[in-house]
């Protein structure tokens, strides 16, 4: 129940963030784009306005399909991982159900001896309970569905970018104006030439942090029972429990283990993250080097179109990489906090304490929350780019057809 409530709360927080960001997009970004496009088209003649509409064609629809493909892929992978995980647990627990029921029945029979009136009932009850056979602990292997859950966001980003690249491959550079195009502008253009640089830098920085993080966790990981580097193992001390005084010596060393993003998870995640980064850089490079029109009055609209397209690519890549980094951070911080507790001697008594290094997992979890918020904002950035491209395209077509009123002050006629 607590997990359900926590998941519901986190879902509501995420939905609130996305909703607030979308409202900001509708209130600020779309009107600003429309205003800039109106100002640019006001200086164009009729043939150039038709060319401006051509510059904005294709990307809005392709971006929408790419975004939908990414979200659909993420949902399918998460749902598949959830039911796969539940199936593994059910298969492990079903054979033990009969043994658990029998143990509960025998335990109840032993406890009834205390009220049966037999001589020395307490001793008889204790002897009966000591003779019960404990049911075995269920052992199951859930590493594969956990890996699928970690990969879900970065695979969704890869699918989005691949769909976008395939759809755009069908859109050749349109002929602008009289059909003349130039292959280079007055200044060299690269992957950071269009769009906000902070948004364009996020995918590269996130990929660098993610891969570095996975290398560090891989070095600290240990082999599990199946030989995979998928757990964190530490030595802890366990004392004896005395009902009358609590924990008492002696302290016994014991190994404690928890799921951890080791090499088993890190290698496929890092490889997929690199694929996302390379594909996004190729798209940005192709966008920057695409030929420009020889009509200088169209360069402002061309810059606007390329900026929105770059925001779309950066949003898709950044969202997937940041969400993956958040998942890895949650898994790392959770393992550190779970294994933080230990016991030591404090004079004649046993003291429970926490290792400071492991308690730093709190900061890791906080970072994971921040990464999640940033991932949501990058999704909104991509969605905003799609909406702005579609809005700009419709406005440019309306202006070209003379269906949009000319910008400028309106003069009220007085009678």
pLDDT in tens, 104-130: 767 777 767 666 666 566 676 676 766
User: What global pTM score does this model have?
Assistant: 0.79
Compute and round to an integer the Cα radius of gyration of the chain: 31
Segment 263-284 shows an average pLDDT of 95
Q: What percent of the chain stands above pLDDT 70?
A: 63
pLDDT in tens, 162-180: 999 888 877 654 444 444 4
Distance, CA of 155 to chain centre: 10
User: Which of these, 280, 369, 324, 39, lies nearest to 153 by C-alpha position?
Assistant: 324
SS (H, E, C) 329-370: HHHHHHHHHHCCEEEEEECCEEEEEECHHHHCHHHHHHHHHH
Question: How many Å apart are CA 283 and CA 192, to the nearest integer?
Answer: 12
Q: Does the pLDDT value for residue 158 go beyond 80?
A: yes
Q: Band of the pLDDT at 410, cuts 50, 70, 90? A: very low
Distance, CA of 148 to CA of 272 (rounded, Å) = 12
The whole-angstrom separation of Cα 83 and Cα 359 is: 32
**Structure confidence at residue 49 as a pLDDT band (50, 70, 90):** low
pLDDT exceeds cutoff 50 at 275: yes
| Whole-number pLDDT of residue 235 | 86
Alpha helices in 26-58 (DSSP H): 30-41, 46-55
Mean pLDDT, rounded, for 215-227 = 92
| Average of per-residue pLDDT across 206-215 | 95
High-pLDDT (> 90) share of the chain, %:
27
> 394-402: which pairs have CB atoms within 8 A and are 24 or more residues apart?
395/34, 395/37, 395/38, 396/37, 396/41, 396/49, 396/52, 396/53, 396/55, 396/56, 396/301, 397/53, 399/38, 399/41, 399/49, 399/52, 399/53, 400/46, 400/49, 400/50, 400/52, 400/53
Compute the average pLDDT of residues 181-196: 59
Q: Average pLDDT, stretch 40-49?
A: 66
pLDDT at 56 over 60: yes
* Segments in 131-256 forming alpha helices (H): 143-169, 197-220
Contact 389, 55 (CB under 8 A): no
pLDDT digits (tens, 9 = 90+) for 301-343: 777 778 888 889 999 999 999 999 999 999 999 999 888 887 7
pLDDT at residue 116 in the model: 65
Residue 145 reports pLDDT greater than 50: yes
Spatial contact of 325 and 209, defined as CB atoms under 8 Å apart:
yes
Helix residue spans in 112-171 (DSSP H): 121-130, 143-169
Distance (Å, rounded) from C-alpha 109 to C-alpha 7?
40
| Six token digits for residue 97 | 């159900």
Alpha carbons within 13 A on the beta-carbon side of 390:
12
Residue ranges per structural domain of the chain? 13-105+143-240+248-400
Select the more confidently predicted residue: 268 or 357: 268
Give residue-wise pLDDT tens across range 242-262.
656 566 677 788 888 889 999
CA angle at 158 for the pair 29 and 290, rounded to the nearest 5°:
60
State residue 237's pLDDT score: 80
* 246: its two tokens: 């609590």
pLDDT at 148 over 70: yes
Q: Which residues are CB-contacts of 345 (< 8 A; sequence separation ≥ 6)?
A: 249, 251, 351
First to last CA, the chain: 72
């Amino acid at each position: 129940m607590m997990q359900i409530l926590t998941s519901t709360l986190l879902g509501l927080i995420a939905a609130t963030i996305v909703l607030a960001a979308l409202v900001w997009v509708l209130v600020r970004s779309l009107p600003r784009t429309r205003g800039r496009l109106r100002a640019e088209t006001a200086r164009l003649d009729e043939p150039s306005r038709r060319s401006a509409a051509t510059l904005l064609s294709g990307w809005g629809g392709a971006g929408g399909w790419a975004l939908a493909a990414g979200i659909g892929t993420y949902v399918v992978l998460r749902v598949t991982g959830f039911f796969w995980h539940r199936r593994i647990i059910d298969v492990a627990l079903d054979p033990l159900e009969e043994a658990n029921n029998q143990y509960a029945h025998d335990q109840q029979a032993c406890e009834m001896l205390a009220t049966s009136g037999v001589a020395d009932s307490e001793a008889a009850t204790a002897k009966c309970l000591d003779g019960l056979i404990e049911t075995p602990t269920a052992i199951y292997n859930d590493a594969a569905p956990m890996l699928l859950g970690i990969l879900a966001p970065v695979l969704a980003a890869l699918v989005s970018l691949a769909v976008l690249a395939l759809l755009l491959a069908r859109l050749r550079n349109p002929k602008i104006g009289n059909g003349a195009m130039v292959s280079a502008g007055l200044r060299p253009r690269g992957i950071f030439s269009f769009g906000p640089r902070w948004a364009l830098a996020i995918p590269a920085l996130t990929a660098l942090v993610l891969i570095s993080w996975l290398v560090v966790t891989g070095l600290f990981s240990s082999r599990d029972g199946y030989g995979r580097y998928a757990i964190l193992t530490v030595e802890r001390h366990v004392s004896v429990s005395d009902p009358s005084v609590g924990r008492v010596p002696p302290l016994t060393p014991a190994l404690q283990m928890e799921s951890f993003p080791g090499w088993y998870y890190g290698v496929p995640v890092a490889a997929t993250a690199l694929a996302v980064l390379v594909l996004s850089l190729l798209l940005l490079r192709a966008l920057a080097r695409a030929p420009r029109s020889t009509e200088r009055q169209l360069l402002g609209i061309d810059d606007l179109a390329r900026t929105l397209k770059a925001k779309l690519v950066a949003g898709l890549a950044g969202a997937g990489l940041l969400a993956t980094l958040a998942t890895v951070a949650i898994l790392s911080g959770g393992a550190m906090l779970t294994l933080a507790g230990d016991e030591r001697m404090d004079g004649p008594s046993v003291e429970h304490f926490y290792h400071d290094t492991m308690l730093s997992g709190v900061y890791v979890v906080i970072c994971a929350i921040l990464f999640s918020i940033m991932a949501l904002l990058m999704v909104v950035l991509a969605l905003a780019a799609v909406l702005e491209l579609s809005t700009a395209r419709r406005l440019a077509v309306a202006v070209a057809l003379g269906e949009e009123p000319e910008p400028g002050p309106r003069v009220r006629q007085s009678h």
